[in-house]
Copies of this chain bind each other. A is one copy, B any other.
Amino acid sequence: MPTPPTDLHTFPRPSVAVDIAVCSVVPDIDGEMHLAVLVHRRETRTETGRWSLPGSFVREYERLADAVDRTLRDKAGVEGLHPRQLLVLDDPKRDPRGWVLSVAHVDTVPMSDAIALIGGTDVAWAPVVVGDAPAGALDLPGRHRSLPFDHEVIVTEAVADLRRRYAERPDPAGLLAEPFTVLELRRVHEAVAGERLQKDTFRRAMLPGLRETSGPVSGSVGRPARRYRRA
């Protein structure tokens, strides 16, 4: 809390927006799973036609998490997520229209909803580029190479946040529907991490955070895998 002025309204106030890196794990043509970020094609004056992260201005007395939920509902028809704050973007020149602060968030959608979510051609999943690409680089549709504004900073932080959390615990963001097998879990973690993980080490690291389910085991071929839920 600041030292209050005699009147709040004597202070200039910035516009405040939320920008969101919505993440999920989606398959490519070959069935390989990849961490991807939701981008949409800009239809408005600034940077029209480029792909960017969804965002919107915060309404009066609205909580930031609610602004995130509302934005995703309106722009992508997604519900019931768990946004996490990443950082505030405060460069006074970041928006040509004026003084706009943006609170960047990361959020996730379950893999089962990810594909259905892409309705038209104005929304897409852009895989995170793995390897030694520039930080925050996405594999955008068409021949687009980069995100506008400071959105690459947001992607960088979002990916770092997810990787940190997934290194600790099994599927903390709930990308995978329960119950699941350790193999399914590992595929998701590999997609997030952007690298292969060892099957035995991975299993032992994750087991303390899992509860075995007694439910029936399905198996196409080979020994049927046990199924688990998050503990």
Using CB atoms and an 8 Å cutoff, list the residues of chain A in contact with chain B. 1-5, 8, 11-19, 42-47, 52-53, 55-64, 71, 75, 85, 87-88, 90-92, 95, 97-103, 148-149, 151
Task: Give the residue among A13, A55, A99 with the most B Cβ atoms within 10 A.
Answer: A13
Which residue of B43, B56, B63, B75 contacts A91 across the interface (Cβ within 8 Å)? B63
C-alpha spacing A2/B16, complex, angstroms: 10
Closest B residue to A151 by CB, please name it. Answer: B1
Question: Contacts of A47 on B, CB cut-off 8 Å?
Answer: 1
* Pairwise interchain contact A63-B92, C-beta atoms closer than 8 A: yes
Expressed in whole angstroms, the minimum distance between the Cβ of A135 and any Cβ of chain B is: 18
Question: Contacts of A148 on B, CB cut-off 8 Å?
Answer: 1
Closest B residue to A74 by CB, please name it. Answer: B3
* Pairwise interchain contact A16-B17, C-beta atoms closer than 8 A: no
Which residue of B5, B58, B99 contacts A60 across the interface (Cβ within 8 Å)? B99
* Pairwise interchain contact B91-A103, C-beta atoms closer than 8 A: no
* Pairwise interchain contact B13-A14, C-beta atoms closer than 8 A: yes
Besides A1-B53, A3-B56, 4 other A-B contacts (C-beta < 8 A): A1-B52, A1-B95, A2-B18, A61-B92
C-alpha spacing A14/B16, complex, angstroms: 7
Which 5 residue pairs across A and B have the least CB separation, nearest first?
A: A2-B55, A13-B13, A12-B60, A2-B17, A61-B92
* Pairwise interchain contact B8-A15, C-beta atoms closer than 8 A: yes
Question: Contacts of A43 on B, CB cut-off 8 Å?
Answer: 3
